[in-house]
Amino acid sequence: MFTIISFLLFPVSFSYATEVIDKIPNNILVYHRFNDERFPSTNTTLKQFEEQIQYLKSNKYKFITLTELIANPEMIEKSISITVDDAYQSFYEFGFPVLKKYNIPATLFLSTDTVGSSEHLNWTQLKELSSYGIDIQNHTHSHLHMPEQTIEEIENEILFSQKIIFDNLGFEPDLFAYPYGEASSEAQEIVKKYFKAAFGQHSGAFSISDPYYISRFPINENFGSIARIKEASSVLAFNQAIIRPSDPFMKVPQKRFVLDFLEDPLMINCFFSDFQGSILATKVQLESKLLFDLDRMPTKGRLRVNCTKFDQGTYWFGYQYSIN
């Protein structure tokens, strides 16, 4: 009973909600490096990438940029958005030719500090990509850990990178991706001032109802099978999901969480994991709420929450915390 009461004492303001009306998947994949075997955790082989594109095309997915998706979040046909973070040279050398081969658009999130380095694209290449139709958007200037920065530092990063992109490409991005997928309530408030939407790196079905922490499925060598692509492209968003606490940045680690999908929770399973692996949790059901008490304190770094339901389709809600 003490545990249940503790859960219910969370202030209502600490809530994150998503709501989606349609049941057509419009999901997002995020890539980093291509054909670069030095970094398997962020790399996708050329063979994998082409097979993934072929699978999606053969299953009649419409390829769209994030600009198109945000402008029309309730599309009447299933779609997929290819996104690429960090603007590595390997995208230009290996990923981009595959996109051109199949006439596919994509969204590239750019950190301006590294432009022109040996590992990253230069402005001439970026202009070529933009002319082709690659949707270039903002990923800060120095790819910093945003929850660790002051409000002034975050705002300066955004303003500086926006100016650099405008000076070199002639436009200011209106979409943003958090470096490392790490956000905080304070960072989100700054991002809202300059962008229409912002994206993390946590797995989950696309929903526009929280436009400043949108899920994307990370793809790499280990998580790049066709089974993974089939799952990531087809999952649906819950009608509504509320998680407490909602601040993606935990200054003090905690073990207690509330999830409310405003529906019968019997069919819903939730899983917690950090850098040490899966975390077992004691679950209590109270009306539509699922109350979780983790068996151990999560470690410093990232804590991921994934909830799924199987009911004439797979529903997937994901959330990521950064723990100080």
The per-residue pLDDT for range 41-53, each reduced to its tens digit, is 999 999 999 999 9
Alpha carbon distance 134, 218 (integer Å): 19
Judgement on whether residues 230 and 306 belong to the same structural domain of the protein: no
**183-209 pLDDT per residue, tens:** 999 999 999 999 999 999 999 999 988
Q: Where is the domain boundary, 213, 234, 255?
A: 234
| Whether residue 270 has pLDDT greater than 50 | yes
pLDDT for 74 = 83
Residue 19 within a domain: no
21 — pLDDT class (breaks 50, 70, 90) = very low
If asked whether residues 249 and 216 sit together in one domain, one would say: no
Tell me if 197 sits within 8 A of 68, measured CB to CB.
no
Q: Does one domain contain both 286 and 167?
A: no
Contacts of 55 (CB under 8 A, 6+ apart): 226, 229, 230
Pair 163, 179 in one domain: yes
Residue 260 lies in a domain: yes
Pair (111, 227) in one structural domain: yes
Looking at residues 87-114, what average pLDDT do you find?
98
Q: Is residue 185 in some structural domain?
A: yes
Kindly report, residue by residue over 209-224, the tens digit of the pLDDT.
889 999 999 999 999 9
In a domain, 156, yes or no: yes
- pLDDT tens digits, one per residue of 271-285: 999 999 999 999 999
Say if residue 16's pLDDT is above 50. Answer: no
Last residue of a domain, one of 217, 234, 251: 234
Write the DSSP string, 273-311: EETTEEE-EEEEEETTEEEEEESSPPPSEEEEEEEEEES
Are 66 and 28 a contacting pair, CB within 8 Å? yes
**Bridge-based pairing state of the strands 268-274 and 301-310:** antiparallel
Considering the domain architecture, whether residues 221 and 277 belong to the same structural domain is answered as no
Judge whether 114 and 123 are in contact, CB under 8 Å: no
pLDDT at 239: 87
Domain that holds residue 308: 2-14+239-323
Confidence check: pLDDT of 8 > 70 = no
- Residue 2 is predicted with a pLDDT of 36
pLDDT interval class at 3 (50, 70, 90): very low
Between helices 185-194 and 151-169, what is the axis angle to 10°?
A: 30
CA–CA distances in Å: residue 273 to residues 31, 279, 320 = 22, 5, 10
Structural domain count, the chain: 2
Confidence bin at 75 (pLDDT 50/70/90): confident
Q: Is 111 left (phi over 0), alpha (psi -120 to 50) or beta?
A: beta
Task: Give the pLDDT band (50/70/90) at residue 17.
Answer: very low
Whether 95 is in a domain gets the answer yes
- Interval 110-121 mean pLDDT: 98
Query: CATH number of the domain that 274 lies in?
Result: 2.60.40.1220
Q: Which has the minimum average pLDDT: 18-22, 65-69, 70-74, 252-256?
A: 18-22
* Residue 210 sits in the same domain as residue 183: yes
244 within a domain of the structure (yes/no): yes
Average pLDDT, the chain: 93
Is the same domain home to 97 and 83?
yes
**With 80 as the cut, is the pLDDT of residue 10 above it?**
no
Lowest mean pLDDT among 6-10, 146-150, 162-166, 250-254: 6-10
138 and 198 in one domain?
yes
Which residue among 186, 207, 234 closes a domain? Answer: 234
Residue 209's pLDDT is what?
82
Q: Tell me, yes or no, whether 216 and 275 share the same domain.
A: no
- The CATH number linked to 67 is 3.20.20.370
14 exposure class (CB count in 10 Å sphere: 0-12, 13-18, 19+): middle
Mean pLDDT of the region 121-141: 98
Residues 194 and 114 in one domain: yes
Contact 94, 46 (CB under 8 A): yes
Residues 70, 43 share a domain = yes
Percentage of the chain exceeding pLDDT 90: 88
